[in-house]
Structure 1
Amino acid sequence: MSMEHKAFVFDYDAFADELGNILENALLTNNNERLVNFIKQNLNFLKDPYEGEALSTSWDTMVEPKDPHQYGDFALTKFYDPQDDIGLGAMWENIQNILKIECGKDFVILGTPFGFKDNYFDPGKMGSYFQSKSQVKGNLQLLTEMLKLKPALFGELNEALKMIRKAAEVEKGFYITF
């Protein structure tokens, strides 16, 4: 079974300012207190990361297991819309292989993990990645230039190009997960 690439336009700058340190600290210490407080303080802005519905006051019953990854999954929804998946689905692996071969880069449709080598943020346990708006711009430029040099690849890489353009057009980053 192939993993499904999900990508969401993500306000990376606001995430870094408001939640980044809290999530990083929770991953390091396994202490969820500040994450839970963030969720409580921002409840009106958060959604169920799976269904996209607004969170109710009983949101905590949905968090399993009660670890930084799962609490972080709920807290992150302040910075993206869980119902607006623009990912590459199952075709991501083929696109990833083409990009590795053609430009030697493996981060263009993924990004960078968040956290620490032994404990990256990964609520689904299949990989989660982030791109800042500057990374998105750089990846758009890389892909655009590569396609100018190798236009025959356009058909295979068009979906990746469209995905990256969506974030670049609104000057946002990405949250990518599987």
Structure 2
Amino acid sequence: MEHKSFLFDTKGFELELCEIVIASGDKDEPRLLIQYIVNNIGKIRSPYTGEFLDEDWEDELELGSVQELADFALTKFYSPEEEFGLSYSWDSLLEALKQLPTTINPEYWVLGHPVESEKFRLDPGGMGTGIVRVEDVPIIFRNLIELRSQFIESEFSEMDNSLYEYTFPELIEAYDELTQLYKEANDYKKGLLMTF
């Protein structure tokens, strides 16, 4: 699976859309999401093309499900064409990060937390979607900077490469890409949307 990440306005999402997504998902009822999209025409993009929606936006829908409509609505808070993900190295990097002494679970660093209730989990692509909140970005960014030397000096460089799909130099490159992703988010004061 290819990891993708986007700078994401988590505060705006939490204030405006999160409750609508959860309520719509809990009831499997798309009406609130449709109304949200209609009310925000010109601010929401197609997740398929990246173009801003116009009055014929419903022609782009494939299923019209809650998940697909949420996928459209989410674009008010990120730009689909500005992708910063870890591509295919994310899982090997995550396994390596789990060996480091951190106060925050590295799964959150790479995958974010799901948006969910007891009955519903937001996952438009069906392969996983998570969000890293803007207030956590500076902490994770600082951890990544502080732990880099430990990462390089760690046992991974001496470990059997068969344990990882990538070589150790490739893992260091992926680590630096993750750090750069958090630097961008920190500089722009944004959270992150992680997906596949």
After TM superposition, is the score higher than 0.5?
A: yes
Q: Counterpart of 1:170?
A: 188
Deviations along 1:13-35, whole A, 9 cap, x unmatched? 01111111111111111111111
1:7-22 aligned at under 5 Å gives the runs 7-22=5-20
> What is the alpha-carbon distance in structure 1 between the residues aligned to residue 145 and residue 48 of structure 2?
33
Larger Rg computed on CA atoms: 2
Displacement of 1:54 in angstroms is 1.6
TM-score, length-scaled by structure 1: 0.91
> What is the alpha-carbon distance in structure 2 between the residues aligned to residue 51 and residue 174 of structure 1?
20
Match status 1:93 vs 2:88: no
Q: Helix, strand or coil for the counterpart of 2:85?
A: coil
Conservation of the 8 A alpha-carbon contact between 2:26 and 2:119:
no
> What is the alpha-carbon distance in structure 2 between the residues aligned to residue 98 and residue 111 of structure 1?
17
Distance 1:89 1:60, change over 3 A: same
Q: Counterpart of 1:107?
A: 108
Q: Counterpart of 1:50?
A: 48
Q: Helix, strand or coil for the counterpart of 1:81?
A: coil
Matched to 2:139, the amino acid is G
Conservation of the 8 A alpha-carbon contact between 2:111 and 2:131:
yes
Q: Counterpart of 1:119?
A: 120
**Structure 1 portions without partners, runs of 5+:** none
Percent identity between matched residues is 30
Deviating more after overlay: 79-88 vs 92-101: 92-101
CA RMSD of aligned residues (A): 1.6
Q: Counterpart of 1:141?
A: 142
Deviating more after overlay: 116-125 vs 81-90: 116-125
Matched to 1:161, the amino acid is T
Matched to 2:126, the amino acid is K
Matched to 2:190, the amino acid is K
Matched to 2:181, the amino acid is M
Deviations along 1:11-69, whole A, 9 cap, x unmatched? 00011111111111111111111110110010110111122112132211222322211
Deviations along 1:56-89, whole A, 9 cap, x unmatched? 3221122232221110000010000000001111
Q: Counterpart of 1:161?
A: 179
Displacement of 1:148 in angstroms is 4.1
